[in-house]
Amino acid sequence: MSEILIQRTHTLGMEKARAIAAKWQQEAQDDWGMDCTYVANQTNEQGELQDRLNFERAGASGYLEVTASQLTMKLELGFLMASFKDKIEEKITSNLDKLLA
């Protein structure tokens, strides 16, 4: 398995960060065939409010954690997808940065 971890800090607050996560979820479902589940209003280890978008498809699974100040994405790639890790990471990074701009 190959892993991608992307973290972005932001100053958008929780509501705008949730909107970004919703846009990313829609793109993940429509463009990449991801099955997504959104879990809102959890508390993370630091006591912050956090939402978590879990996603998966054949050969890839992961999550996007959303807080008022940070987005964290972790993606696990299966054996066949691992050979495309650099391109996948570049595409996801570009996509998140565009959504945060």
Q: Is the pLDDT of residue 55 over 80?
A: yes
Going along the chain from its start, the domains and CATH numbers come out as: 2-100 (3.30.160)
**pLDDT digit string, tens, across residues 67-82:** 999 999 999 999 989 9
To which residue do tokens 């991608």 refer? 4
Indicate the pairing of strand 70-77 with strand 49-57. Answer: unpaired
HEC states along the chain?
CEEEEEEEECCCHHHHHHHHHHHHHHHHHHHHCCEEEEEEEEECCCCCEEEEEEEEECCEEEEEEECCCEEEEEEEECHHHHCCHHHHHHHHHHHHHHHHC
At 96 the pLDDT is 87
Predicted TM-score of the model (pTM): 0.87
